[in-house]
Structure 1
Amino acid sequence: MPRYTSPLPSNLTDAQRVVYDTIAGGPRASTPLVPVVDDDGRLLGPFGLMTIVPSIGDAVQGVGAAIRFRGTLAALVRETAILTVAAHFRCDFEWFAHRAAGADAGLDGDQLEAIRTAAPADLPPDAAHARAVVQAILRRGRLDDADYARAVEAFGETGLAELVWLSGYYSMLAMALGTFDPAVPDVVQGQFDGSP
């Protein structure tokens, strides 16, 4: 049983409605590859959790919107990094939500499966660099000097900053999802069944 079920749109408070409208009607609504509402209009996954404390949830969703829609990272790099975080936390919803976006950005089925299972992967160079940077950040909470130099060479200081913020944002979402275990469609469940 889920621990949390997102409220129906008709049951939202005024403060929750602001968060809902920003998420369901903002730039996320124009990108159907990453679903934000279910068939009843409830916010899915981490988006519904953002209505629990609307003042904080609105700030959190703003960070996510900036990362996805106002950043400088190429879609392939961004989606590889997001999927790397999802795989690290074995986060079913984030994997489900970004798998199609990763494929649309250029990752093939074998590459997606390698990211999902944390196996070695034959990725395009920028995607491979992004995956290595994010894995290092997630494992150690920092980059050593050599990793930092390689990351700046590959992405510039701006791109590296975006990868750091992305890693933290999607880690936060994975932890929130793991804590509140919100109701999600059945198709979301089991993205990591059978993987190491």
Structure 2
Amino acid sequence: MDQPVLHMTRIAPLSQPYPEALAPALNALTPDGGEAPMLFRIVGTSERAWQKFTGGSLLDKGPLPMRERELVIFRTAARIGADYEWGMHAALFAERCDIDAGQLEALAKKDAESGGWSDADAALIATVDILIDRRHLDDEEYARISAHFTSDQLLEIVQLAGFYQGVAMIIGTFDIPPEPGTPPIPA
């Protein structure tokens, strides 16, 4: 039987036992008998990077409902080709947020206006597209998104789109492969 080929990342990831300062967080992310996701084990090699990363991750309960948060993350991942993040969020959050396979397909392939979305969802997806393309909303675009979201939520949307582009840079720079069993962005 063929042995699986091991992928070597550019920074050796942490392995168990994890350093005392990071052990509680990494152990909470570790499946029984496994390791925490590779991304976290690589970022965790630098205590400063770990603190900055977890401080900006925005996966806590914030002003944006979980479903909308995940729409931002999925659309950002799809637009920039971030298979690692797409796969992790598809595996961990899509079902919990009532984002079905058809919606995932639409997030990966269609523009915001053709996915059968609510007005708020379409505005959210279009805003992510604009932020990725131009990093600036004109007055009409801002009026559209602000009709559906508060200023606290708008800040969260912008920070999420920016953060996950940064995550993709970490993954690409350090050659972190997708987690086993996670799906790629639909082609």
> Given the two structures, how large is their TM-score scaled by the length of structure 1?
0.79
Answer yes or no: is 1:95 the counterpart of 2:98: no
Contact 2:15 2:41 in 1 (8 A): no
Aligned to 1:42: 35
Answer yes or no: is 1:104 the counterpart of 2:111: no
- The 5 A counterparts of 1:38-117 are 41-64=34-57, 67-100=58-91, 101-117=93-109
Aligned to 1:133: 127
Q: Which moved more, 1:165-174 or 1:116-125?
A: 116-125
Contact 1:76 1:127 in 2 (8 A): no
The structure-2 alpha-carbon separation of the partners of 1:178 and 1:39, relative to structure 1 and needing over 3 Å to count, comes to farther
Contact 1:7 1:42 in 2 (8 A): no
- The 5 A counterparts of 1:139-158 are 139-158=133-152
Query: Which has the larger helix fraction?
Result: 1
Which of 3, 22, 26 aligns to 2:9? It is 3
Aligned to 1:31: none
Distance 2:26 2:147 in 1: 34
Distance 2:53 2:146 in 1: 26
Distance 2:121 2:179 in 1: 29
Q: Give the residue type in structure 2 aligned to 1:110.
A: G
Cα offset, 1:75, TM superposition: 1.7
Contact 1:84 1:131 in 2 (8 A): yes
Cα offset, 1:50, TM superposition: 1.6
The structure-2 alpha-carbon separation of the partners of 1:105 and 1:6, relative to structure 1 and needing over 3 Å to count, comes to same
Structure 2 residues without counterparts, runs of 5 or longer: 1-6
Q: Over aligned residues, Cα RMSD in angstroms? A: 2.2
Which of 140, 145, 167 aligns to 2:161? It is 167
The structure-2 alpha-carbon separation of the partners of 1:41 and 1:187, relative to structure 1 and needing over 3 Å to count, comes to closer
Cα offset, 1:41, TM superposition: 4.1
Distance 1:169 1:20 in 2: 24
Contact 1:45 1:93 in 2 (8 A): no
Distance 1:20 1:133 in 2: 37
Distance 1:88 1:20 in 2: 33
Distance 1:142 1:91 in 2: 22
